[in-house]
Chain A
Amino acid sequence: MVVSAPRLAVEDLSYGYSRHAVGRHVSFDIGAGEVLCVLGRNGEGKSTLFKTILGLLPPRAGAVRVDGGLTADWSARQRAQTFGYMPQSGGGAFPFTVAELVLMGRTAHRGPFSAPSVVDREVAAEALSTLGIEALARREWLRISGGERQLALVARALAQEPRILVLDEPTASLDFGNQVRVLDAVRGLAEGHGLTVLLSTHHPEQAFACADRVAVLAGGELLRIGPPADVITSETLRECYAVEVTVLPVMEDRYRVCVPRSYLT
């Protein structure tokens, strides 16, 4: 059997800041078109891990490979053509329109002096329509809700036309309907466009909705990684979040829900 290099390989990665380590010896692979969902309690370092993978923070040790190639020497431009990134909060403090902001996702695809082309504008418009937020295009960034901003930042990440989409808590502060829309979009992008998706969430159930595999970070290390049904168990959730949870199958085990035991008594 011929084994091709995984789309994204994280190899024995230790990450953090100059004076304090956040995570150690984290290794995992993600294939093309695969969705990996990262769980971990607040402050566990999910964002730090993502930023290190993106090259925004230098790794303390270890390496990141994309399609077998080391990313350590890549330019910002090369990275931005490979990774589409949705930060937890972003967009700045100036009153750009959503369309202008999404168009900034095209930066890495043109020269430093060139204006956005017709193609750039089409890609940006398509990203907006993929997320169903065409109506926001002309709205001002500072005047839309937190949830709308999040959708716009996902659209901008899409406009980067990346191979790997890195979404830092894409469903945080979204209402229920928008959460479903984002997760459906993630699923669709992975299945339809072969995009590799790395996302973090605070809702374990969401992994059943969109992820092929789940990685759980605890105590600065990778506690467990595998298919959602294997990883998201009462035991893992207790270790990760220190709460007792019952995981129940729904509709002949097509989906599972996580119910905190304290709610049941």
Chain B
Amino acid sequence: MLVATSTALGPYRVAPGDLLAFLAAKATGATSPLPVSAETVILQIRLPRVFAATAVGAALAAAGAAYQSLFRNPLVSPDILGVSSGAAFGAVVGIYLSLPVLAIEAASFAGGLAAVIIVYAIAAAIRGRDAVLILVLAGVVIGALFGAGVGLLKYLADPYNQLPAITFWLLGSLAAANLRDLTSLLPAVAIGLIPLALLRWRIDVMTLGDEEATALGVDTRVLRIVVISAATLMTSAAVAASGIIGWVGLVVPHLARLVVGPAFTRLLPVSVLFGACYLLAVDTVARTVGTVELPLGVLTAALGTPVFLWLLAFSRRAAWS
């Protein structure tokens, strides 16, 4: 994480082309006193946003890597379990009820966890068939249901106040990231990452499938619950902080796997690093490229789609089966 953060800060320092004054202030910031206004901007706006971008990118990529290994499918992402939709629905309910920000975040966590619990319960109820397939399909269905719930709330929402807030937030943005967001985001990401890092060797065995993993001595039921909970916690925290930022959890772990192979002991840190750098870079572009800030989620989708298609077309066939 530290490596990821410090490396990621590199491109940030050179990237802001929006105002040269900030660049100068930042360059001298480490050693000499600054104008108060610049210092405020850096401490209150910039740094929280940089940390939020790296944390969200790292969280989504790590969660994606975990889901992909667990579900033995390099094409799945945090969205497949309906986690993102559930978390989004929770947050939209919060916005609709005009709840305080902290309650909105709690509702987002609750929505994400509810989605994964429902999906898991459906998969558990329909036994005797390919458990992974059922889980993925249940995730798609529940995701669609929560998506419909979001649609309903948008329809009901006050069009002058709530609707823009919901819409903007759903597009995915880190514009409002502040220090208080970080105090809930960073611990959640850390709590999610620790079990994944500790269980990295077991997660490799899970890629073989339940039966083979059990035969090799893994308690697959417990391991699956722990890994899904950890990945869901990170996804919910990321969604609560920034809305739905798609593709990161799908494309980044996939790229990481192409670079360092499937072993989770290397895949996890590289996914975290790539995810953090990627989202930081994209967020920097999002707020610097135009006079109006671009929604981050729109940009990641615009970048992710061609990358994904390229991967689909040129990576080895067998890895996709």
Assess whether B217 is in contact with A77, with CB atoms less than 8 Å apart: yes
The chain B residue sitting closest to A91, CB to CB, is B208
What 5 A-B pairs have minimum CB-CB distances, sorted nearest first? A108-B217, A80-B217, A94-B262, A142-B318, A77-B217
Stretch among B154-162, B178-186, B194-202, B238-246 lining the A interface: B194-202
> Among the listed B209, B220, B318, which residue makes an inter-chain contact with A95, where contact means beta carbons less than 8 Å apart?
B318
The one of B199, B207, B215, B223 that contacts A80, using a Cβ cutoff of 8 Å: B215
Set of chain B residues within 8 Å of A87, measured between Cβ atoms: 211-212, 215
Q: In the assembled complex, which residues on chain A have CB atoms less than 8 Å from the CB atom of B199?
A: 112-113
Q: Which residue of A lies closest to B265 (CB)?
A: A115
For the complex with contacts A77-B218, A79-B217, A100-B204, 5 further pairs of A-B residues with Cβ separation under 8 Å are A76-B217, A87-B215, A91-B212, A95-B318, A112-B223
Q: Are A90 and B212 in contact (CB under 8 A)?
A: yes
> Which of B198, B214, B263, B316 has the most CB atoms of chain A within a 10 A radius of its CB?
B214
**In whole angstroms, what is the CA distance A55 to B216 when docked?**
12
Could you say which of B69, B198, B211, B257 has the most chain A C-beta atoms within 10 Å of its C-beta?
B211
Measured in the bound complex, the distance between the Cα atoms of B317 and A143 in whole Å is 11
Q: Are A107 and B217 in contact (CB under 8 A)?
A: yes
CA distance A67 to B117 in the complex (A): 42
Contact of B216 among A17, A94, A114, A160 (CB under 8 A): A160
In the bound complex, what is the Cα–Cα distance between A110 and B200 (angstroms)? 13
Instruction: Name the B residues within 8 Å of A79 (CB-CB).
Output: 215, 217
Contact with A along B305-321 (1 / 0, CB 8 A): 00000000000101101
Q: Please report the C-alpha to C-alpha distance between residue A54 and residue B210 in the assembled complex, in whole angstroms.
A: 14
Asked whether any CB of chain B lies closer than 8 Å to the CB of A56, the reply is yes
Question: Which listed residue (B202, B207, B214) contacts A56, Cβ 8 A?
Answer: B214
Which residues of B are found within 8 Å of A112, using beta-carbon distances?
198-199, 202, 223
A155 to chain B, nearest CB (A): 13
Name A83's closest neighbour in chain B (CB-CB): B215
Q: Which residue of A lies closest to B221 (CB)?
A: A76
Residues on B facing A (Cβ under 8 Å): 69, 72-74, 128, 198-199, 201-202, 204-205, 207-209, 211-212, 214-220, 223, 257, 261-263, 265, 316, 318-319, 321
Size range of the chain A interface in the assembly: 35 or more
- A113-B198, A115-B201 as given contacts; A56 in contact with B215, CB under 8 Å: yes
Give a binary string over A77-88; 1 marks a CB under 8 Å from any B CB, 0 the rest: 101110101010
Interface residues of A (CB under 8 A from B): 17-18, 51, 54-56, 75-77, 79-81, 83, 85, 87, 90-97, 100, 104-105, 107-108, 110, 112-116, 142-143, 160
The distance from the CB of A105 to the nearest CB of chain B, in whole angstroms, is: 7
From B128, B204, B208, B321, give the contact of A18 (CB < 8 A).
B128
Q: Give CA–CA (A75, B219) in the complex, Å.
A: 8
A93 touches B319 (CB 8 A): yes
Tell me if A77 and B208 are in contact (CB < 8 A): no
Q: Which residues of A contact B72 (CB under 8 A)?
A: 92-94
With A and B bound together, what is the CA distance between A160 and B199 in angstroms?
Answer: 19
Residues of B within 8 A of A143 (CB): 318
Give the residue name and chain of the A residue nearest to B226 (CB). Answer: A112
**How far, in whole Å, are A94 and B204 apart by their CA atoms in the complex?**
9
B74 contacts A94, CB within 8 Å? yes
Q: Using known A-B contacts A18-B128, A79-B217, A104-B205, determine if residue A95 contacts B262 with beta carbons closer than 8 Å.
A: yes
Residues of A within 8 A of B217 (CB): 76-77, 79-81, 107-108, 160
Query: Shortest CB–CB separation between residue B321 and chain A, in angstroms?
Result: 5
Nearest CB on B from A111, distance (A) = 10
Chain A hits for B128, CB < 8 A: 17-18
Judge whether A92 and B218 touch: CB under 8 Å.
no
Q: Which of B72, B205, B220 has the most A CB atoms < 10 Å from its CB?
A: B205
Distance A76 CA – B69 CA, assembled complex (angstroms): 20
